[in-house]
Amino acid sequence: MAAISYTNRAKQVSNKKLTFMERIYVPAILKGMSITIRHFFMRKVTIKYPEVKKFFSRNYRGVHVLKKDEQGRERCTACGLCALSCPAEAITMVAAERTKGEENLYREEKYAATYEINMLRCIFCGLCEEACPKQAIFLTNEEIAKADVDRGNFIYGKDKLVEKQHHPIGKIRGGGPIDEKYYHGNATVQSTFHKLELSHKL
Amino acid sequence: MDLTYIITKFALIGIVFAISLLIAMYSTYFERKFASFFQDRIGPDRAGPFGILQPLADGGKLFFKEEILPSQSNMFLFIMGPSLAMLTACMTSAVIPWGTYIEVMGQQVELMVTDINIGILYIFGVVSMGVYGIMIGGWASNNKYSLLGAIRAASQNISYELAMGLSIIAVVMLTGSLSLKDMAVWQSQNGWIVMYQPLAFFIFLICAFAETNRAPFDLPECETELVGGYHTEYSSMKLGFYLFAEYINMFISSAVMATIFFGSYHVPFISSLNLPQNIAALIGVAALFAKISFFIFLFMWVRWTLPRFRYDQLMRLGWTGLIPMAIINIVITGTVILIKDLM
């Protein structure tokens, strides 16, 4: 009884003896060599990394940034939701109370005195930015955590994470025109974008 | 007169030695470069423009690597292995004619270290010594993978040396001399031997791949099965010597193939140009090196195309394929020569 094929991908296995031409290998070898010599002259796919950088897609999740608002005040209130949502437990922070005269530095009464992300632990899933109620943390598509020879240097503190000056949030991901080829319309990212654009308008 | 003779010979030896080392050195660079071209990559490009200082960096790295000597190994033989491999690799180039002769200060300087009348036998003798380097090193390492690699190298080299020698016999019957210089002269008069003996060339080429332990015959150092084969236990410059010896062997085999089958330094129609002797000789040298470069490229091209033979396939190909083919070739050549003589 013939087996019923449900996928139509079944192939009859043949165990026939090699023919003379197959046994002397030479035609097959020449065929293989013609294939490799074609690759010899093909365009190379290598990107010479430090000098040339690969184009990151609009929804690429790279290194984090701690946002400031339009007046240059840090948005983070050290609520700890990002640390809680982080599946890799890469985020840690110490909260502090804003004192008088620091209103131009911190947006609300509470802020993060230290804020550290361990880039060796981080899996760049983006759940921290999902969790953040203040739109304070985002994953940029411009930078990746750089290679280093010291593990200690992979713990990014506020000095590396806080953005130097306020950028409109739309700039974080995909500042340039969207390349349709790279944009896959990931639902999570789209919702984030939606959130971003809304908050920017507000 | 005697003094100038000695000086020129020493100069020649120095030059040939330096050139074979230089070419072996840059073979490693081009091996990596071509490997990446075949795989759509760029290859080493950081050390100097286009990465041309890469061999120096590699050599420096090998020199400064920690040297590990296995405590249970036979120390004398362990050190002798790579030395012997390197020595035999460097010795072969002595009988290869690099050109006709050039005239320096009214003297004819032959571009050949020594023209012994058993040239090709000398090469075979030295090359078959080369396997001792691998065998001794593999055995002295006191490591089963090394030993397996060494045994494979020994059996492979013995099997393929037979076919190689038999394929050359047909050539020797044609030229009537074992000297490589006579072969070169014969070819510049009668045309390249590859036109008369394509089958012998084919057998010799395959055997050359096997003799230099290069893919698809790199079973002695087969990484997927034997860790590193005979050089598993070697580190630092001793490992470097083994790897380097392979590249020198590749250069020498290319030179031998170019000399025996592709007219050595002969360039077609060059005698009709009536160039001055020195320029003609130098063009000849350049032609020889172009041919050698082509064969080195062929070695690399094949390496990055073919997968490794299985051990039984290797043995079957050697004993039931190449040796009978070489014997048939001898018979045919002999018959043709006899018929020609009778007519």
pLDDT above 70 as % of chain A: 80
CA atoms of A39 and A58, how far apart (whole Å): 32
Q: Which pLDDT band holds residue A202 (cuts at 50, 70, 90)?
A: very low
Which chain A residue has its CA at the smallest distance from B206's CA?
A26
pLDDT at B33 over 50: yes
If you average pLDDT over every residue of chain B, what do you get? 85
pLDDT computed for residue A22 by the predictor: 76
Interface of A with B in 145-164 (CB under 8 A): none
Q: Which pLDDT band holds residue A173 (cuts at 50, 70, 90)?
A: low
Beta strands per DSSP E along chain B: 101-104, 107-110
CA atoms of B114 and B102, how far apart (whole Å): 15
Cβ separation A35–B305 shorter than 8 A = yes
pLDDT at A178 over 70: no
pLDDT computed for residue B174 by the predictor: 86
**Residue among B37, B42, B321 minimizing CB distance to A40:** B37
pLDDT computed for residue A58 by the predictor: 74
Token pair listed for A16: 């026939």
Interface of A with B in 75-134 (CB under 8 A): none
CA angle B308, B313, B318 (to 5 degrees): 105
Cβ separation A29–B305 shorter than 8 A = yes
Write out chain B residues lying below 8 Å of A48, CB-based: 42, 45
What lies within 8 Å, CB to CB, of A134 at 6+ separation is A75, A76, A77, A79, A107, A108
Neighbours of A3 (CB within 10 A): 6
* Residue of B31, B32, B34, B38 to mutate when probing chain A, most A C-beta within 10 A: B38
pLDDT at A124 over 80: yes
Write out chain B residues lying below 8 Å of A32, CB-based: 305-306
Category of A126 on φ-ψ map: left (φ > 0), alpha (ψ -120 to 50) or beta: left
How far does the CA of residue B30 sit from the closest CA of chain A (Å)?
13
* Chain centre distance of CA A46: 20
**Residue among B41, B42, B305 minimizing CB distance to A36:** B305
* Chain centre distance of CA A81: 20
Model confidence over A38-92: pLDDT tens digits? 988 888 888 887 777 777 777 788 888 888 888 888 888 999 999 999 999 999 9
Residue B269 or B211, more confident? B211
CB of B34 within 8 Å of a chain A CB? The answer is yes
Which chain A residue has its CA at the smallest distance from B320's CA?
A24
Structural Rg of chain A based on CA atoms = 26
pTM of the model: 0.76
- Long-range pairs of B222-226 with CB within 8 A, sequence gap ≥ 24: B222/B149, B222/B152, B222/B308, B224/B308, B226/B145, B226/B148, B226/B149, B226/B152
If you average pLDDT over every residue of chain A, what do you get? 78
CA atoms of B173 and B161, how far apart (whole Å): 18
CA atoms of B309 and A161, how far apart (whole Å): 55
pLDDT computed for residue A194 by the predictor: 46
Write out chain A residues lying below 8 Å of B303, CB-based: none
How far does the CA of residue A46 sit from the closest CA of chain B (Å)?
6
Q: Which pLDDT band holds residue A93 (cuts at 50, 70, 90)?
A: very high
Write out chain B residues lying below 8 Å of A24, CB-based: 321
CB of A39 within 8 Å of a chain B CB? The answer is yes
How far does the CA of residue A25 sit from the closest CA of chain B (Å)?
10
Burial of B317 (0-12, 13-18, 19+ CB in 10 A): buried
Distances in Å between the alpha carbon of B101 and those of A50, B112, B113, B215, B267? Answer: 52, 8, 12, 37, 15
* Residue of B30, B34, B37 to mutate when probing chain A, most A C-beta within 10 A: B37
